[in-house]
Structure 1
Amino acid sequence: MKTKKFNRREFISFLGKAGLGTAILPPFLTHCGNISTPSESFQKVGSDDLQKLRDLILEGIEASDKDDLLLANGLNYHTILKWGDQISEKDTFGFNNDFTSFLPLDPANPKDGLLWVNHEYIHPLFVSGFDHFKNDDPATQKTWEQVDKEMYNVGGSIVRIKEEDGKWKVVQGDPHNRRITGQTPIPLNWDSPIKGKSTVMGTNSNCSGGITPWNTFLTCEENYDSYFGETVYDENNDPTHIPSKHGWESFYNNPPEHYGWVVEVDPKDGSAQKHIALGRMAHECCTIYELEDKHVVAYTGDDINDQHLYKFISSQPGSLKEGTLYVADTINGQWLSLDWEGQPILKEKFKDQTEVLVRVREAAKMLGATELNRPEDIEIDPITGHVLVALTNNKPKNDYHGSILKIEETDGKFDSLTFKASTFLAGGEESGFSCPDNLAFDFSGNLWFTSDMSGSAMNKETGPYMAFKNNSLFVVPRIGKDAGKVFRVVSAPRDAELTGPWFSPDGKTLFLSVQHPGEQTRDLANPTSKWPFDEDNIPKPAVVAIQGDLIEKMHKLREIEIES
């Protein structure tokens, strides 16, 4: 695997050395959105271990097209949950698991808690038996039973898990275990109804997410147009409905405007609400930082070609309703207000703030926001506070490999309205990765990220992705002799994508989703993947726990810098 290597001084300077070598405050980590509150013991390293860390040689793995989950030396995995597993007396684990997050029930015990998992979308052939390759009109050719099965298999799962004898297992029969589905009633956190409703049917297209400082889960509705279509407006502001890919609107007459929101779920009772103030778009994630006065800042991106990066700043402590939504002008380094009252140009087209938020993409373009190459996951560097944004690709603009964007808020203030934007890492054969997607920082500030090459494009001899083979998980060490190198540490099964990396509070487990293995399957008797190789002999999305000495050593590498 070819790698892009900075020398130590170049990399630390580029990533940002501010704060390196000083203690990371747990409250900052809590609010970054990609890691749980660390337990007190994760930073403690003895003098003997320090020497071992200095001698650590990090070895990645080569790109592979093998139908298996392959891991670098020093890592191992076990499966926690897979599609169809029973999680309660009435509920089963949904399809195409994506974002994961873990909250311990007791902060003092990092080995027992609640796992949230998104279920992003369905493959009809597997889920409902509808052969979408042979039937091109789901609106008339599907049955109610098939649609109901599909709606059940999206949304999310809350599951209590415990680590026992080194293995994470589901706590069967726990009252927390439940499903949020495409048919769960969910109220809107807004004063005005949306298309006549203040409570809507279900959530779907749940891609990435985040957590809040008050310990609830955030799940984000991304490609909602696949299920209930979309409303588009012409130059006269007249609406037209664009039909969906899966045809659900022919069975349930739900307007598209009920979807495309950030959804908050309370892990204690499964209650949920959709946050209108954060805007309606193909949300990849929602990453929150809490300011000293308890006001919050929420970053989110619209994962579509030529769409935008957004930031919400609350005007009330702990509120995801009261405040202002901004969109990024990355060329001039400005956050542009999407406030209807304060923007005369928005008043010319939209009747009120609700309409601005429902049609936020149009509003953003009217203000001159910068078009970006599919802004996906967003995470905050726990050492410097820089905001990293995965820009997966934009093929029509000849960006096949994507990049990671770095946002430096002015004076390090997350509620600043100005910033500096630069490219952190660019994808391609020289750097060793393509199409970055989900990001995660561990407790030493090492960057971990997954790739998102589409199943139809991978492993094609004439395409731009042949050198990268299957999708993978990568790590970029922050310090030590390998600082700045991109290492592939996990390779996905055939057709699959690795998503939702999330570290346990003790830093010893990386939860990871293996999404859509065998997605190119056209015949259930001949699937393109058979991972995870269970008795059904068909591919199944699953959540795995990755452990091993390598993860623990990566977490503790920072002790070398502290000592020196």
Structure 2
Amino acid sequence: NSEMAFNGQDEVLIFARAAADALGATKMDRPEWVSVSPMTGEVYITLTNNRYRGERDDQPVSASNPRSYNDGGNDNGHIIRWAEAGGDHAAMSFQWDIYLFASPSDLTAENLSQLNDNNDLSSPDGLYFDPRGVLWIQTDDGAYTDTSSCMLLAALPGAVDDGEIITTSAGQQTRIGMPASNDNIKRFFVGPEGCEVTGITMTPDFKTLFINIQHPGNAWGAVEGGSTPRSATVMITKDDGEAILAESFTE
């Protein structure tokens, strides 16, 4: 609680969330992965979801957590980003916006990033910038899995303040990044039913992508003669052996 005593810096680091509460830090919508753009130096973090946003007195809507819908809460999550003053990560101030609001494409009032059937998503979780500046987004979802299993998307984000100021259906004003399109974000991989897509890295030549499939359901990945689904690491390459997503960087 906010009156918790810390007996040294080591305890502040171990009980970081309690320390943040003691300082009055903003309660965010389930922060997960953080990644830094090699192109802009801006920091991105996934806010996977929060069923209590706008429903509990200690978690009202705010500019950084501006949605509460479907009878309360932020079911689909969003990705927020910030640019440190002067490009210095030790700076004491920064600018920020919400890079992307996750949403089913047909959830009109909440699809603030204008996602379509090729790139809509829910509950962003894993997040990884490759050295070229491609942002890989992985999902850990339960709100949209009646339509699509968890997935991996590839995005080419812009920079903080490349969008506009909007007002959400909860009446909260916030800053949003440029709209999504087929040119700047697309679904790359869909996992088996019941899974979470998590963990990601690439070889230095960008020709092999590794991702993890965690706790798949049904009979996917079962051992021969068995019925228990298995988690697995998947290796992805192109049929022609060339760099993955090379076409995204051609003029």
TM beyond 0.5? yes
What is residue 221 of structure 2 aligned with on the other side?
Answer: 532
Q: Is 2:126 aligned against 1:438?
A: yes
Instruction: Kindly state the Cα deviation for residue 357 of structure 1 after the two structures are TM-superposed.
Output: 2.8
Instruction: Kindly state the Cα deviation for residue 442 of structure 1 after the two structures are TM-superposed.
Output: 3.0
What is residue 321 of structure 1 aligned with on the other side?
Answer: none
Aligned partner (choices 364, 371, 375) of residue 31 of structure 2: 375
Contact 1:444-1:554 at 8 Å conserved across structures: no
What is residue 358 of structure 1 aligned with on the other side?
Answer: 14
CA distance in 2, matches of 1:517, 1:502: 20
Matches within 5 A, 1:210-289: none
Contact 1:442-1:555 at 8 Å conserved across structures: no
Matches within 5 A, 1:69-88: none
What is residue 394 of structure 1 aligned with on the other side?
Answer: 50
Q: Which amino acid aligns with 1:483?
A: D
Instruction: Kindly state the Cα deviation for residue 534 of structure 1 after the two structures are TM-superposed.
Output: 3.4
Query: Structure 1 residues 234 and 363, CA, compared in 2 at 3 Å: closer, same or farther?
Result: closer
What is residue 166 of structure 2 aligned with on the other side?
Answer: none
What is residue 29 of structure 1 aligned with on the other side?
Answer: none
CA distance in 1, matches of 2:42, 2:153: 20
* Local SS of the residue matching 2:98: strand
Query: Structure 1 residues 383 and 487, CA, compared in 2 at 3 Å: closer, same or farther?
Result: same
Q: Which amino acid aligns with 1:389?
A: I
Q: Which amino acid aligns with 1:371?
A: K
Aligned sequence identity (%)? 33
* Local SS of the residue matching 1:557: helix
Contact 1:450-1:473 at 8 Å conserved across structures: yes
Instruction: Kindly state the Cα deviation for residue 412 of structure 1 after the two structures are TM-superposed.
Output: 1.1
Matches within 5 A, 1:422-501: 422-430=97-105, 431=115, 432-453=120-141, 457=142, 464-466=143-145, 468-477=147-156, 482-484=182-184, 486-501=185-200
What is residue 204 of structure 2 aligned with on the other side?
Answer: 505
Instruction: Kindly state the Cα deviation for residue 496 of structure 1 after the two structures are TM-superposed.
Output: 0.8
Matches within 5 A, 1:60-459: 349-397=5-53, 398-430=73-105, 431=115, 432-453=120-141, 457=142
Query: Structure 1 residues 388 and 468, CA, compared in 2 at 3 Å: closer, same or farther?
Result: farther
Instruction: Kindly state the Cα deviation for residue 536 of structure 1 after the two structures are TM-superposed.
Output: 4.2
CA distance in 1, matches of 2:146, 2:231: 25
Deviations along 1:69-92, one digit per CA (max 9) or x if unpaired, are xxxxxxxxxxxxxxxxxxxxxxxx
Listed as ranges, the gaps of 5+ residues in structure 1 are: 1-232, 238-348, 458-463, 519-528
Aligned partner (choices 212, 234, 245) of residue 554 of structure 1: 245
Instruction: Kindly state the Cα deviation for residue 469 of structure 1 after the two structures are TM-superposed.
Output: 2.4
Deviations along 1:371-394, one digit per CA (max 9) or x if unpaired, are 111111111111111111011011
Contact 1:444-1:557 at 8 Å conserved across structures: no
Contact 1:440-1:448 at 8 Å conserved across structures: yes
Larger fraction in helix = 1
CA distance in 1, matches of 2:52, 2:242: 38
Listed as ranges, the gaps of 5+ residues in structure 2 are: 54-72, 106-114, 159-180
Paired residue total: 195
Contact 2:134-2:155 at 8 Å conserved across structures: yes
Contact 1:378-1:387 at 8 Å conserved across structures: yes
CA distance in 2, matches of 1:234, 1:387: 28
Q: Is 2:235 aligned against 1:545?
A: yes
Instruction: Kindly state the Cα deviation for residue 559 of structure 1 after the two structures are TM-superposed.
Output: 4.8
Which is higher, the Rg of structure 1 or of structure 2?
A: 1
Instruction: Kindly state the Cα deviation for residue 492 of structure 1 after the two structures are TM-superposed.
Output: 1.0
Instruction: Kindly state the Cα deviation for residue 550 of structure 1 after the two structures are TM-superposed.
Output: 9.3
Deviations along 1:488-526, one digit per CA (max 9) or x if unpaired, are 2211112111111111111101101011112xxxxxxxx
Query: Structure 1 residues 445 and 413, CA, compared in 2 at 3 Å: closer, same or farther?
Result: same
What is residue 138 of structure 1 aligned with on the other side?
Answer: none
CA RMSD of aligned residues (A): 2.5
Contact 1:443-1:555 at 8 Å conserved across structures: no
Contact 1:517-1:539 at 8 Å conserved across structures: yes
Matches within 5 A, 1:19-34: none
CA distance in 1, matches of 2:29, 2:9: 27
Contact 1:402-1:427 at 8 Å conserved across structures: yes
Normalising by structure 1, we get a TM-score of 0.32
Q: Could you list the structure 1 runs, at least 4 aligned residues long, displaced by more than 4 angstroms after superposition.
A: none
Q: Which amino acid aligns with 2:47?
A: L
Normalising by structure 2, we get a TM-score of 0.70
CA distance in 1, matches of 2:187, 2:140: 14
Higher relative contact order (CA 8 A, sep 6+): 1
Instruction: Kindly state the Cα deviation for residue 465 of structure 1 after the two structures are TM-superposed.
Output: 2.0
